[in-house]
Every structure is written in C-alpha cells, then in structure tokens.
Amino acid sequence: MITQEDIERLRKGIGEHAEPVLSLYCDVNPAKPENAGRAWIKRCKNSLSEIPDLRVPKKRAKTLYDEILTLLDLSVPEAKTMALFAAEDEHGKLTTERFDLQVELPVVDLAHGRVEVRWGKPYITPLVFAFDEYERAGVLHLRRSQWRFYEIFLGEVREDTQIFAEITPNQWKELADYRKVLEGGLLRAKSVRDQDKYRAKLQTWARNFYSKLARLLEQCILRLDVNRLVLMGDDWETGFFEVFLNRNLRGRLVGRVGHPPVIDEASSKDILEKVEPLLNEAERRDEMRLLTEIREGAGIWGAEKTLEALQMGRIQVLVLPWNLDLKVWRCPHEGFLAETKETALTFCEQPVEIPLRDYVFDIAEDYGSRLEFVRGEPERVLKEEMGGMAGKTRW
C-alpha cells in the first residue's frame, strides 16, 4: 500500500528533479484482453520511440531509451495502472520511481490501450492527487472467532492489527461460546425479568463487550482517517452491532455484507470482491448528491460559466468528468481560459486550443478549488445535462 512516505519521496525526488523528466502512465491490467501477453510493453515502446531525446547517444553503452526498456521488460506488475518516472542527473546517473496501482487515475487518458508519456516537467500530479483525495474505506469482519479490520485505499487491502490489541484470546473465546445464545435474540430483550441469573449475567457481559468493540472501532477509524465503513459477517450480528455505533460511525457506514467465501482466512481479493460494489455505489451516490446540490442552487454549470466563476475565485468544488476530453482556449501569457475562441479573443490576440486535462490540476490549485471527478451515471448527467463541467460556489 502506498504510504505518505512514498509520496513525500516522490515529491522531493522526482518532483523537484531538474528537467527533463520522463513520466509514464500505462494500463497494465492483466484482466483486460488488450493486455494479454504483456502487450502493454509494446505500446510503451511505441510511445517512447516518439521522443527523440531518449535516443541521444551516451558515453555509456545504453541510451536512456534502452535503460527504460530494460526496466519495463523486467516489470511484472499485478496492477491496473503502472506509473514510472525516470530522470538523469548531471553525471548521467539514472533515478527511477515505479508505482503499481490497483486503481485507475483521473485525467490520465489510458482508454483503448493508450500510454500517457510526458518528457520535460515531472507529471506526478495525478498520482499525488489520488493519494491526497481518494477516500479510505474500512471493513470490519465480524468473524465467528476473532474479529478483524481491513483498511482499503487505492484498491489495496491492508489488515490493521492494532484495533483489538487489548482484547484477550479468552474474551474472543467467550464471544464465540456465547454466539448461539446471542443469535437467539437475548440481546434484544428489553428486560431480564423471568430470565435466570446466567442469562442476565450474559446479557450484561455481551452489551459491555459489544460497546467496547464499538469504541475501539471508532478509535481505529479516526486513527486511519477512514471515511466509509462496511460491516461484514452474519446478518444478525452485523445488524445488531450497528446498534452500538455512535452517530459518528453511523454517518460513515455505507452498508453490511455477508462473509467472504473463506471466512477465517479471507484473501485481499475475496474482501475486495465482497465490498467493492457497495463502496462504488456509495461513491456514485455521493457524486450524484453533489450534482443535485449544485443544480438546486449551490452552484453553476456549463463550461463557459464555470470557467468564468473559477477564475473569479468563486468555485469551492470543481466537478469534472472522469474521462476529461474537453478542449478549451487559453491565453498563453495571461493564463486565461475560455470555452470558446471568441471569448478568449477578448483577453488576448492569439489564444491557443489546449486539452483542459493538461492544466486542470494547476488551475484548481491557483484558485483554491477542490477537484471532484465523477464516474458512471453522475458522469453521464454532467456531460449530457450540465455542459460537461460544474462548480459548487463559495458565494
């Protein structure tokens, strides 16, 4: 899993490296037919061959082009996207960074097997954006023995072993021993009247134990900065445990799912396959809610109006389609952006047409706006009904 240390190393190493720097993004997903037989390597070679500077002869035997091809030939990424950065210092020493990502990246155009290659200024922004803006999810697996918690970030799964460190093996064993009684509905009883002392004692123990587990869960959620929570396990137990969650945790809960195929030793793949549809549904729901909020008075839409408001500092959240293919007109010296050439001509004499995706991160940073890329049905609505761009306004 990519860490903050990885991103800081990238920022200080490649991000601050003297130009030129090679930035390469490639779809390497082995599940796609177009990547069968590592066909992505051929596409990378074709894209790299279009940069003459990479083939400039060096004192050493290999050119930079040859060095990078060697790295690619040795790569066997088990990922959806590979990001590779390479640069030489004044002594010809090669520095490289490679990230294998289990997600796709916004703005990077890898459709139909395309390879995104840039030579010059380091293009690390899509990767840094993904790290800073992607939400972290958490899965609490209520196993029939010891519970486990998994953090999901950028498509990767990592178990957190700290969450229940203070729970003893004996306490987990007690919970496992009492499960049949608990499943029978004892905890739902409003009174212990007419119950024997054993059942009354068990009810008190169980309520205290579940409450403690809920408190430990909240501490973990806050420590890992998890935004979305999924409960996994038997329906009766996940449903009842939800009762013990406070308002903060309930606000992050997106749903409950059953056990993965292998309950005790579930793989990362098993967990992702179980919860990913639920997480994707929650994400699309939040995106649609944002668009509805904008349409009902909290913002504006349409490329021309949104770009104008953005450059006035009015846009708090800039909403764009995941597959951003919009072209705009830019005044090179003034930096002004407009949807049409006619509008741009009112600010400069020689505007140029550029892909918005090449500048979107910079302009969002310049005007203090947060970027939100939408997919699925929200992306269709944004493109077909809202002019391909929208913004939630500050004023």
Query: What is the model's pLDDT at position 31?
Result: 86
In-domain check, residue 157: yes
pLDDT tens profile 165-190: 999 999 999 888 887 777 766 555 54
Identify which has the larger pLDDT, 191 or 373. 373
- The whole-number pLDDT of residue 232 equals 97
Asked if residue 145 and residue 30 are part of one domain, the reply reads: no
Q: pLDDT tens for residues 316-355?
A: 999 999 988 899 999 999 889 999 999 999 999 999 999 9
CA 56 remoteness from chain centre: 38
153, 165: one domain = yes
How confident is the model at residue 382, as a pLDDT?
97
Dump pLDDT digits (tens) for 149-163.
999 999 999 999 999
Q: Are residues 61 and 150 in the same domain?
A: no
In angstroms, rounded to a whole number, what is the distance separating the alpha carbons of residues 224 and 222? 6
Per-residue pLDDT at 60: 61
**The domain boundary residue, chosen from 238, 266, 294:** 266
Confidence at residue 394, expressed as pLDDT on a 0 to 100 scale? 93
Average the pLDDT over each of 236-240, 245-249, 252-256 and give the range with the smallest value. 236-240
Whether residue 368 has pLDDT greater than 90 = yes
User: What 3-state class would DSSP assign to 336?
Assistant: coil
- Helix (H) / strand (E) element for 233: namely strand 228-233
Helical (H) or strand (E) element with 6? helix 4-12
Q: Residue 195: what pLDDT?
A: 57
> Looking at the structure, do residues 122 and 144 belong to the same domain, yes or no?
no
Name the band, by pLDDT with cuts 50, 70 and 90, for residue 112: low
Per-residue pLDDT reduced to its tens digit, 198-209: 677 777 888 899
- Is it the case that residue 245 has pLDDT exceeding 70? yes
What's the alpha-carbon Rg for the chain, to the nearest Å?
Answer: 26
How far is Cα 220 from Cα 257, in angstroms, rounded to an integer? Answer: 20
Question: Residue 225 has what DSSP assignment?
Answer: T
pLDDT tens digit string along 206-219? 889 999 999 999 99
262 and 146 housed in the same domain: yes
Q: Which pLDDT score, from 0 to 100, does residue 35 have? A: 86
Same domain, 122 and 151: no
CATH of the domain at 367: 3.30.1330.30
What is residue 115's predicted lDDT score, i.e. its pLDDT?
Answer: 85
Residue 278 lies in a domain: no
Domain count, the chain: 3
Helix (H) or strand (E) holding 67: helix 64-74
In angstroms, the CA 25 to CA 107 distance is 11
Q: What is the mean pLDDT of residues 111-118?
A: 75
Give the pLDDT confidence of 37-63 residue by residue, as tens digits. 888 999 999 999 999 999 888 766 688
Decide if 272 is inside a domain: no
Inform me whether the pLDDT recorded for 262 exceeds 80: yes
* Same domain flag for 144 and 255: yes
In the 8-state DSSP scheme, what is residue 192? -
Which structural domain range is residue 95 located in? 4-133
At 34 the pLDDT is 86
Residue 276: inside a domain: no
Instruction: Mark whether 257 and 324 lie in a shared domain.
Output: no
Is 327 a domain residue?
A: yes
Angle at the Cα of 137 (from 131 to 139), degrees rounded to 5?
145
Point out which residues pair with 390 in neighbouring strands.
Answer: 301, 319
pLDDT for residue 89: 81
State which of 133, 164, 186 marks the end of a domain: 133
Orientation of helix 64-74 relative to helix 39-48, angle to 10° = 170
Would the CA dihedral through 51, 52, 53, 55 be positive or negative? positive
Mean pLDDT, the chain, whole residue set: 89
Q: Do 214 and 315 lie in a common domain? A: no
Q: Which residue, of 115, 133, 151, is where some domain finishes?
A: 133
The CATH number linked to 171 is 3.30.420.60
pLDDT above 70 coverage of the chain, percent: 94
Verify that 122 and 210 share a domain, yes or no: no
Q: Write down the pTM of the prediction.
A: 0.86
Q: Can you tell me the mean pLDDT for 265-269?
A: 90
Which CATH number is 84's domain given? 3.30.960
- Tell me what the mean pLDDT of segment 91-120 comes to: 81
Q: Between the CA of residue 89 and those of 54, 62, 64, what are the distances in Å? A: 14, 16, 12
Confidence band, pLDDT 50/70/90 cuts, at residue 305: very high
